[in-house]
Amino acid sequence: MSAGPYNYSYIFKYIIIGDMGVGKSCLLHQFTEKKFMADCPHTIGVEFGTRIIEVCGQKIKLQIWDTAGQERFRAVTRSYYRGAAGALMVYDITRRSTYNHLSSWLTDTRNLTNPSTVIFLIGNKCDLEGQRDVTYEEAKQFAEENGLMFVEASAKTGSNVEDAFLETATRIYQSIQDGRLDLNAAESGVQHKPSQPGRNLSNDLHQKDNCPC
């Protein structure tokens, strides 16, 4: 059988952070199960999800840790930042307070992760346009000022959810290619699995030619 093996070349660790109720778990669920989870209970702890994606012809396993957003858990959830290659920082476009807290989340992320960690800002619940409390433009500006990637998404409709996870991975992968992210660093959040000789070699070569990056 010549099908490309299920083996992945990299493992990327992601964390999802942000205030309580902004929809972190729903984003994860939408990404892993392609379903919207209505009546999602508050996460009391750290949930764990995984999915294999393909970026530039490379199979990458994403390990996603979805953290509790409640303020009282903040001290505990800080221990999960370490070794994250990607951080998805989520706010709710219908609740300004969740947007106002971003700088505190960002400070934690910067302090607790390494400089090459890709931070992606997600304005969730963009399906609720009528209740919008944070404009796209100001969030966009905030993202630009802080060098974050940004998108407005909806865990309910699935809009842009896939993109946020995949673009983060693409950016991490580019960092690896550029050498900005040192795979050997203890906390890179990335593990590389060298492709095995003799397996699907032609396929790999073929894919490399088509790689857009």
Partner 1 sequence: MSNINQEVINVILEKLSSVEIKIKNVSFNCIYYKYSRIRTSLIHQTDIFRSVSDTNSIPSYTHYKFTINYKTLNLPFILDNGTDSKIFEEALTIALSLRSQDSDFHWLEKFSLDSDSFSEFGDDASGLPVCRQKIPRTRGSSSRESMFRFEMESRKAQYTKLRDCSIFVGTWNVNGQPPPPSLSTWLACDPEPPILYAVGFQELDLSKEAFLFSDSPREAEWERAVITSTHPGAKYRMLALIRLVGIQLIVLIHIDHYGYVRDVAWDTCGTGILGKMGNKGGVAIRIRLYDTTLCFVNSHLAAHQDEVQRRNQDYRDISDRINFRKPLKLLKSMSVYNFNQRLIQVLLHFSQVYWLGDLNYRLNKLTHEEVKRLLHFHEISNILKYDQLGLEQSGGRVFEGYTENEITFQPTYKYDLNTDKFDSSEKARAPAWCDRILYRGKGIHQVTYRSHMDHRISDHKPVSALFRSDIAVIDEAKQKKVQEEVFKLMDKLENEILPQVTVDQTEVLFGIVKFKEPVTREIIVANTGQVPVEFNFVNKINEDSYCKEWLRISPYCGSIEPGEKCDIRFEVNLEQHLNKFEDILVLHLENGKDIFISVSGDCQRSCFTASISVLCRCSLPILLMSPEQLRLAEAQQSLVLYSVPRELWLMVDFLYRNGLKTKDLFESTALHDDIMKIRDWLDYGSLNPILDNVSAVAECLLLFLQHTKDPVIPYYQMEKCALCTNFNMCQMIIAQLPDLHRNVFLYIAMFLKELLKHSAENGTDVKMLATIFGNIMLRNPKAKKDRPQVARGKVTFVQHFLDNDISGLIMPKQ
CA–CA separation, 31 and 44 (whole Å): 20
Q: How buried is 101 (Cβ within 10 angstroms: 0-12 exposed, 13-18 middle, 19+ buried)?
A: middle
Q: Smallest distance from the beta carbon of 201 to partner 1, in angstroms?
A: 4
Would you say 1 or 38 has its CB closer to partner 1?
1
Encoded tokens for 120 = 């992606």
Smaller CB separation from partner 1, 34 or 180: 34
Residues that bind partner 1 (CB under 8 A): 1-7, 11, 13, 32-34, 44-52, 61, 63, 65, 68, 72-73, 75-76, 78-80, 82-83, 186-189, 191-194, 196-202, 205
State the burial class of residue 78 (Cβ atoms within 10 Å of its Cβ: 0-12, 13-18, 19+). middle
Q: C-beta of 7: minimal distance to partner 1 in Å?
A: 6
Measured from the CB atom, the residue of 3 and 38 that comes closer to partner 1 is 3
Residue 143 is given by DSSP the state H
Are 33 and 93 in contact by the 8 Å Cβ rule? The answer is: no
Contact between 162 and 62 (Cβ < 8 Å): no
Using the minimum distance from each CB to partner 1, give the nearer residue, 180 or 199: 199
CB nearer partner 1, residue 50 or residue 135? 50
Which residue from 52, 47, 8 is spatially nearest to 29, judged by alpha carbons?
Answer: 47
